[in-house]
Amino acid sequence: MDLATLLFWIIAIILVGSALLVVGMRNIVHSALALVVLFGMASGIYLLLNAEFIAIVQILIYAGAVTILILFALMLTRTNNISTNSNPTNRQWWLAAIISTLVGAAIIFAVTLSQYSTVHAGSGVAYGTSACALPPNNVVYIGQLLYSPTCYSYVLPFEIASLVLLVAIVGAIVIGRED
Amino acid sequence: MLTLNHFLVLGALLFCIGLYGALAKRNAIAVLMGIEVMLNAVNVTMVGFSFFNTVKPYSTYLTGQIFAIFIITVAAAEAAVALAVVISIYRKRSTVDVGEINLMKW
């Protein structure tokens, strides 16, 4: 077992464990803190997959911004029984458990055992040559792919995503405003 | 030796845990946390596909990682708008229990 496989198993076990803590803790603030561990471990998985830019963005946006948003929303919607059981399940939780188990079993069957499974996929080549000169690292390469004016790039989806963010900011302010 | 199946099974496990959280929780913010877990599972799958992709014109363009970046963008927008909606409902109804939020029920 090489180092990457060992790291993968450690990170994957912590990742699944913290995901179980997110849905299983009785205090919802503890669930939000387990979510921070989950985001950090997911960025470790991205580092294993040669995706440095996504790993940093994951820590900046998810562990930084989204968790703070969730914690602020928890503080603003504080109910009086925050310490006893502030994260209850509804009456159909057994149905939800059955549905999610079936969905997970179907996906795992599809990717491992079925005749369309991905056992013939390649064994991990990183990015190769493009029309531009080969960039020094992943961040520069993604930067070229996102907004290079001359090479093949994703400029139009990038601009549309920025428009989506602008609309979301204005919408959040308008919806959350006190009248 | 890591294969693509490791990352796909990990993503599937995370996805069904998040699906359980989104379906079974009563607190609206806990439902949102389940949705965030599901989006992260999809991101793990996308970056895994991007790493193990050998089909020539697509592997050079890092399609999976670009896809993950757009998923992160949309997830941030979704979290901001959804938490604003939750806070707005809490001001009007003094509850965040999704079983009691029935303003659109006829």
The mean pLDDT value for A34-45 works out to: 94
Average pLDDT of chain B, as a whole number: 88
Instruction: Give per-residue pLDDT as tens, A125-168.
Output: 444 444 455 566 788 888 888 887 777 788 888 999 999 999 99
Strand partners for A82: none
ipTM of the complex: 0.90
Is A119 a residue whose pLDDT tops 70? no
User: Would you place residue A37 in the very low, low, confident or very high pLDDT band (cuts 50, 70, 90)?
Assistant: very high
* Contact flag A51-B18 (C-beta cutoff 8 Å): no
Window 88-147 of A, Cβ < 8 Å to B: 88-90, 92-93, 95-97, 99-101, 103-104, 107-108, 111-112, 117-119, 121-130, 141-142, 145-146
Average pLDDT of chain A, as a whole number: 84
Q: Of the CATH numbers 3.20.20.30, 1.20.120.420, 1.10.287.3510, 3.40.50.300, which one belongs to the domain with range B4-93?
A: 1.10.287.3510
Window 15-34 of B, Cβ < 8 Å to A: 15-21, 23-27, 29-30, 32-34
Across A46-55, A69-78, A83-92, B92-101, least confident range: A83-92
Domains of chain A: 1-88 (1.20.120.1200), 132-179 (no CATH)
- For testing contact with chain B, the best of A13, A90, A146 (most B CBs within 10 A): A90
Closest CA to A66 of B83, B24, B64, B62: B83
Is B41 a residue whose pLDDT tops 90? yes
Closest CA to A43 of A25, A30, A24, A59: A59
* pTM of the model as a whole: 0.87
Residue B62 has phi, psi (to 5 degrees) of 50, 45
Instruction: Give per-residue pLDDT as tens, A41-80.
Output: 999 999 998 888 999 999 999 999 999 999 999 988 876 6
The mean pLDDT value for A27-51 works out to: 92
pLDDT at position A83 is 60
Window 35-64 of A, Cβ < 8 Å to B: 35, 38-39, 42, 45-46, 48-51, 53-54, 57-58, 61-62
Percent of chain A at pLDDT above 70? Answer: 85
Is B99 a residue whose pLDDT tops 90? no
pLDDT at position A60 is 93
A10 touches chain B (CB under 8 A): no
| CA angle, residues A98, B45, B80, in degrees to nearest 5 | 80
The DSSP 8-state label assigned to residue A87 in this structure reads S
